Amino acid sequence: MLDRRFILENVDRVKENCRNRNVSVDIDRLVELERERRNFQSELESLNRQANQIAQAIAKAADVDQKTQLREEGRRVREKSAEIETRLGQIGAELDAIHRMIPNMTHPEAPVGSDASASRVIAYSATPKPEFSFPPLDHLALAERLDLIDLEAAARVTGHGFYYLKNEAVLLELALQRYALEILLGEGFTPMSTPDLARNHILEGIGFIPRGPETQVYSIEGTDLSLIATAEITLGGLLAGQVIDAELLPIKLCGISHCFRTEAGAHGRATRGIFRVHQFTKVEMFAFTLPDDGDQMLEYFLGIERRIFDGLGLHYRVIDTASGDLGGPAYRKYDLEAWMPGRGEYGEVTSTSNCTDYQARRLDARYKVRGEKGTRFLYTLNGTAVAVARALVALLENYQQADGSVVIPEVLRPWVGKERIEPKKG
C-alpha cells in the first residue's frame, strides 16, 4: 500500500493515478476519516490526561465527599474515553479498507490508458515469425494428434479448465522447468520449491483478494488458507514481519510451484486448450531490493525472460503495460507475448513487475542499514521465468512440421531425450 502520509500530502496526484488505473476509490472520504481520527485521538489523549489528574487528586483528597465526587468525574471520563476508542476503532477499520484499495503509483514512463489497447510495444525478439507451407494447427489439435494432452479425462475427474499431460508433454514440462532453473542458478538465484497454500493475510499483503466475488484464488473452507495463484505469494511472504540487514540485499529467489486460479469471467479463444487454465506449473523469479535498485532489477528480470525465450527460439514482443491494465501492486510491468501461429495472434507468456514498497508495507517487510536508526521498507519485484502451460502452447504451435511432428528446441533436448515428437503409429 501507499504511505498514508504520502496520500494526504499528494491528494490530487493520487486521485489522478486512480483515474489512470481505472480504480474507483473515495480519496476524499479517506481524507475526511483521517481528519476525524486525528481529532478523536487528540480528544482521547486529553481525556487520558484528565483521568490521570483525577486519579492523583483522589489519592490526595482527605474529604470523603470530595473523593466521591472525583470518582464520579473519573467514571464519566472513562465512559467518554471508551466511546471515543470505539469510534476510533470504527474509523480505523474504514480507513484501512479504503487505504488498501488504493493502487500503487505508476512509473512516469509507463503508457497511460484505460485498458490493454493503450499498452506499448517496446521491442521484438531477434527470432522472426515462423513461415509454414501448410495451414498451421493450434496446440490442442496438435496435442490430440500426438497424444500429449487429455482434457476430456480431466473434465471428468476435476472439471473444465484442468488437463492431463501425457507422453512427451510431461518430459517437456520437466525440461522447461530445468532449462529455466539452469539459467537462474547461473545468475545466482536461490532455488526454492514453495508450498501450494498460504495464509490469507499473506495473499492480501501481496495484493490478492482471498475471499468474495472478485477473488481469483481458491480458498480452503474452514481455514485461513488459500491455494496460491503464483509463487510470488509464498516467496514474498518469506520476509513478512521480518527485518533484514541491508548488506544482504538484493535477495534473488526462484520458486517452483503449482499455481491455481479461478479465471472467473474468462471466455473466448484463450479458454481453448491449455492457454488459460485453473492449474499450471510455473518457475517464478522474486527479488527483495533496496529502493534505489528497483528500476534496474526490473530491467534485469526482463532481460532474463528474453534470454529464456530467445533460447527457445520463439518470436515474441515486449509490452510496456498501460496504467489501466496494471494490477494494484505494480508500479511498472513488462509482458512478453509470444507469437502463436495456431491462434494467429500473440499470447502473454511472461510478465515482470516492480512493486516498489507497496507489498512490503502490507507485509511489514523491512531492512535496516548498519549504523543508522530505524528501519525502512523493502522493494519487491516479481517475474515469470516460465509458465509451463503457455510455453507448451507456443512451442507446439511454432515448431510443428508438415508431417504432423513437432521439433523439440535444441536447448530442451538433453532433458526430453529426442529431437522431435512423432505421431503415434497405429
Residue 332 is among the residues annotated as catalytic for this protein: no
What cell numbers appear for 11 in the block?
491528494
21, 276, 306, 362: the catalytic one is 276
Kindly write down the DSSP assignment for every residue of 208-272, as one continuous string.
---SSTT--S-B-TTSSEEE-SSHHHHHHGGGTT-EEEGGG--EEEEEEEEEE---TT--SGGGS
Question: Which of 348, 362, 366, 397 does the annotation list as catalytic?
Answer: 348
C-alpha angle 192/286/22, rounded to 5°? 140
How far, in Å, are 240, 293, 301 from residue 296 at the CA level?
23, 5, 9
Q: Which three cell numbers stand for residue 6?
A: 504520502
Take residue 248 and report the three cell numbers written for it: 544482504
Tell me the C-alpha distance between 372 and 360, whole Å: 20
Cα–Cα–Cα angle for 169, 396, 228, rounded to 5 degrees? 60
Q: Which long-range contacts (CB under 8 A, 24 or more apart) does 79-84 make?
A: 80/47, 81/44, 81/47, 81/48, 81/51, 84/40, 84/43, 84/44, 84/47
Residue 87 annotated as catalytic: no
Beta bridge partners of 251: 288
Q: Annotated catalytic, 247? A: no
- Alpha-carbon span 180 to 183, nearest angstrom: 5
The backbone torsions φ and ψ at residue 28, rounded to the nearest 5 degrees and listed phi first, read -60, -40
3-state secondary structure of 194: coil
Considering the candidates 21, 261, 343, 362, report the single residue annotated as catalytic: 261
390 given a catalytic annotation = yes
- Beta partners for 199? 225
Catalytic: 257?
no
Task: Tell me which of 343, 351, 353, 362 is the catalytic residue.
Answer: 351
Residues designated catalytic: 261, 276, 348, 351, 390
